[in-house]
Structure 1
Amino acid sequence: MTKEEYLDLYERSLKGDCSPEELARLQQYEDDFCFSDETHSDEILKEKIYNRLSASIAQEENVKRMFPWKAVAAAVAVLLVAASGFLYFNGHLSQRNKPLAVAVEKTPVLKQDIPPGTNKAVLILADGSEVELNKATEGQIAAQGNTTVNKSGNGQLIYQLADKPQTTSLAVFNTLAVPRGGQYNLTLPDGSKIWLNAASKIRFPIQFTDKERMVELEGEAYFEVAHNPQQPFIVKVKGMQVEVLGTHFNVMAYTDEATINTTLLEGKVRLRNDRAAEVILNPGQEGVFTGNKGFKVNKADIEQVMSWKNGYFIFNDEDLTSIMRKISRWYNVDIEYSGGTKKLSFAGSISRFKNVTEVLNMLALTGTVQFKIEAGKITVIH
């Protein structure tokens, strides 16, 4: 079987279009996906897999533009197993000198499927009334004081001030709540743009009248803040805040995550916690806040952090439980574990707009994990 035939069969297998004979051929194919035991060094394995795939696979053009070095993984929809995944699989070989085969395993066909998330959110106005934005028509959907609220296109909410903003000492707040299985784009009255990920919420004033432009975030959002040195922009999250003048950054502050991660793309930000500790981030850095342990600054993986906004899942040696939390939010599905939560890590890339079975099949192809879908729940089987 040529590699072209292999790729064609693989793509068809993900869609459930293969005959039993074709599936058997697919499962027997190893060829260049086989390495001897002496190459079990984690980095050597990953490098060899990448080099062999990149030498033989035509790269998908839209992926190549966005993520050049990850294009192979996305093009073939094969998940490259990272360090602990290899070690887990290798630990179950009966003979230590037996070649390690990174090939298509017998993966059960998932009979149920779940579509990806869409542009949907609920806008909660100052008087407590709610507007389901995915059901609202385009154009003006509300007027509050001197501010109009407009839905412009699918997934975009824009706040606009009159030419002469009103002066008031009382701040009036709105809240944009994005459920699981949703995302939405918000433009604030000062021109700052915010992209909200699934299961996220942001509270903000309809007009910035204070010395600071302050918003409150739960979940994850990417910010492009309009520059205004006279009025710093502050994002408040649980236990800390991000202070900026005008810059581009991402904040991940889900309540079910152990840390709050702030990643800076452009400009400069200051992170403060409730105990007055602070750190300054420069572009390409990530500030990790862990409650009582304070801040830690790391080099950021910008592609992975921004993948959700760019329409992709990108996993770089990412823990399985972390991956499943992302799947839970985006596909609006509960996760259950059968057999415990063993330490497995994966690396790879796939569009967020695939049905959940295609994402799960990629993970299952490693042979380290299986899944079952029923009644809006995914069971992870080790």
Structure 2
Amino acid sequence: MTMDDRSKYLFQRYLDNICSPKEWEELMGILENDEVLGNLFDETWNKNHGQINLQSSSPREHIRQAILERPKSRKPKKLLYYGLAAASLFGLFVLFQLISSNFRSFNSPVQKPLIQIADVDPGYSRAMLITGSGKKINLESLKINESMDLAGLKLHKLAEGWIKLETAADLYNQSLQNVIQTPKGGEFRITLSDGSEVMLNASTKFTFPARFSPQERSVSILGEGFFDVKNKDRAGKPQAPFVVHTLNHDVRVLGTAFNIQSYPGQSKDFTTLIRGVVKIGINNKEGKVLHPGEQAMVSTLGDIRVNKVDLEEVTAWKEGLFLFNDKPLEVLMEEISRWYDVDLLYVGKRKALELFGVYSRKKSLKSLLSNLEQTGKIKFEMLSNQNIKNKERRVTVRIKYL
């Protein structure tokens, strides 16, 4: 029996409350090794929860820190050492039970029991408009060529299916801010009152005023959008600078086309220039100028890095495609999660896996995942909680590296 097997054996006897005094003393000596202590926890956790890859903020790390961060005397007495070791062991047991219970109850990424499902439909054009006065309009429900007058805003649904916005003549408050929000599994295209076009990707919030000021056309975005900004109005006169605010930076333009990705939870924002010139700034400070084909990565700490990128890959989503050139699987799965409105559950140890290919966003999820499985390095399973009463239907994609 190896030392690792012996420690597991002794620890299990301790949990079962059948550990003899001699075995307990032996276990105290083994637990002086921090690696053994961590392995014991991993073994116990995985036995109860399966091989789930827990991140640094996982219960394991919190428990290990609580156990191991104790003052160490240079020359501890034997009795004191055993007391500390026993406290650590008891803490491991108690904290494991408490946090394990809480983890199962509150932090489980899926609802059980789950059932396998055949397929998931792709996303489609849909969005919600929330006016500055608080009124909500389901833009998907508007009919082609239908118009609607709201306080300070006029809507018209074009034959192509997107919305054209105009400032209403009866505008009573220029400071009104409107919001167009796409859900997971949705996208939408709009034409602003200045003639600029914006296409919003899934799970995106776009905020704009009922009327732009003469000094600056200011909007904000949380998510991803493609902008085609007009530098002249319908009469051919130059328009004010166009500024897009994101979580971490501002993009100042005159007339140009560019893509912005700024989702919550991302460590970086990405602005990619298609044509024209834009200036990337942070907190109204002078930033960096982008030229066509360049992408600015802006961190939450305010660092800006500029790189050359593949423009087709960046803008593929607005053309109805997934395009990935050596894209990490986890990045691609986040895009898939937003477009098909599914949750993700990684099972087992994650591995570095980069993918290459192109696929239509109009096809079903099963078709896409089946193609990814042909790499022989990944396995997917689609599960749903739809058999649980009074629960919102959610689909979870279980991901296992091979």
TM-score w.r.t. length of structure 1: 0.67
Equivalenced residue count is 271
> Distance in 1 between the 2:182 and 2:289 partners?
30
The counterpart of 2:149, out of the listed 134, 143, 152, is 143
**Cα deviations by residue, 1:15-52 (Å, 9 ceiling, x for unpaired):** xxxxxxxxxxxxxxxxxxxxxxxxxxxxxxxxxxxxxx
**Cα deviations by residue, 1:291-314 (Å, 9 ceiling, x for unpaired):** 215100100210100100011001
The counterpart of 1:367, out of the listed 370, 376, 379, is 376
Alignment match, 1:27: none
What aligned pairs does 1:341-360 form with structure 2 within 5 A after superposition?
341-360=350-369
> Distance in 1 between the 2:157 and 2:286 partners?
40
Contact 1:167 1:209 in 2 (8 A): no
One-letter amino acid matched to 1:368? K
TM superposition shift of 1:147: 3.7
The counterpart of 1:132, out of the listed 115, 120, 138, is 138
TM superposition shift of 1:340: 3.0
Alignment match, 1:231: 240
Mean alpha-carbon deviation: is it higher for 276-285 or for 135-144? 135-144
Structure 1 residues 180 and 155, CA, compared in 2 at 3 Å: closer, same or farther?
Answer: farther
What aligned pairs does 1:25-44 form with structure 2 within 5 A after superposition?
none
Alignment match, 2:398: 379
Q: Does 1:172 align with 2:176?
A: yes
One-letter amino acid matched to 1:322? V
Counterpart secondary structure, 1:134? helix
Alignment match, 1:207: 211
User: Which structure is larger by alpha-carbon Rg, 1 or 2?
Assistant: 2
The counterpart of 1:337, out of the listed 333, 336, 346, is 346
TM superposition shift of 1:257: 2.3
Q: Which has the higher contact order (CA 8 A, sep 6+)?
A: 1
**Cα deviations by residue, 1:253-289 (Å, 9 ceiling, x for unpaired):** 1113221111101100000012725100011111111
Alignment match, 2:269: 260
Counterpart secondary structure, 1:160? strand
Contact 1:168 1:209 in 2 (8 A): no
> Distance in 2 between the 1:203 and 1:210 partners?
18
Q: Does 1:190 align with 2:194?
A: yes
* Root mean square deviation, CA, Å: 1.9
- Unaligned ranges ≥5, structure 1: 1-109
What aligned pairs does 1:297-336 form with structure 2 within 5 A after superposition?
297-336=306-345
One-letter amino acid matched to 1:347? F
Alignment match, 1:222: 226
**Cα deviations by residue, 1:134-164 (Å, 9 ceiling, x for unpaired):** 12223445324564111223640111246xx
Structure 1 residues 155 and 255, CA, compared in 2 at 3 Å: closer, same or farther?
Answer: farther
Alignment match, 1:276: 285
One-letter amino acid matched to 2:127? A
One-letter amino acid matched to 1:112? A
TM-score w.r.t. length of structure 2: 0.64
One-letter amino acid matched to 1:149? L
**Cα deviations by residue, 1:169-189 (Å, 9 ceiling, x for unpaired):** 732221100000000001000
Alignment match, 1:20: none
Alignment match, 2:258: 249
* Identity level (%): 33
Q: Does 1:158 align with 2:177?
A: no
> Distance in 2 between the 1:340 and 1:134 partners?
41
Contact 1:155 1:183 in 2 (8 A): no
> Distance in 2 between the 1:126 and 1:138 partners?
24
Q: Does 1:119 align with 2:125?
A: yes
What aligned pairs does 1:81-92 form with structure 2 within 5 A after superposition?
none
> Distance in 1 between the 2:173 and 2:265 partners?
36
> Distance in 2 between the 1:330 and 1:225 partners?
25
One-letter amino acid matched to 1:133? L
Counterpart secondary structure, 2:367? helix
Contact 1:203 1:215 in 2 (8 A): yes
Contact 2:174 2:209 in 1 (8 A): no
Counterpart secondary structure, 2:143? coil
> Distance in 2 between the 1:276 and 1:149 partners?
36
**Cα deviations by residue, 1:349-380 (Å, 9 ceiling, x for unpaired):** 11111101111111111111100001111000
Contact 1:218 1:254 in 2 (8 A): yes
Contact 2:152 2:172 in 1 (8 A): no
One-letter amino acid matched to 1:192? S
Counterpart secondary structure, 2:332? helix
**Cα deviations by residue, 1:189-229 (Å, 9 ceiling, x for unpaired):** 00000000000110001221241000010100000001145
Counterpart secondary structure, 2:335? helix
Contact 1:120 1:155 in 2 (8 A): no
